[in-house]
Amino acid sequence: PSPPEKAMVCFGNMFIELPKAKTREMLRQDQEELDEEINSLRKELRVKVNRLYEAQGKPELKGFNLDPMSAEEMKLINRILEG
């Protein structure tokens, strides 16, 4: 039997049947928006932590402004480590 062309998606307290392509695109868009929001919040947090340390008279945290590695960078690192 061929796989169904529609997927059940939960919106709040109800399920809706949508085409798989549409569902996949909606999930991709949502994930992109969430990633952007997470990155924005991370940048804001760095500024706020630095202000807090400055107000307390403490030196700036070293290494706090580092960015996380991307999935592709992690794959390359793992490939190197595996030999």
Residues in the chain with pLDDT < 70?
A: 1-2
Count the domains in the chain: 1
The model carries a pTM of 0.62
Q: Residue 39: its pLDDT value, please?
A: 87
Q: Whole domain around residue 65: which residue ranges?
A: 6-82
Cα 42 to Cα 75: distance, rounded to the nearest angstrom: 23
Structural domain contains residue 40: yes
Residue 1: inside a domain: no
Q: Is 71 domain-assigned?
A: yes
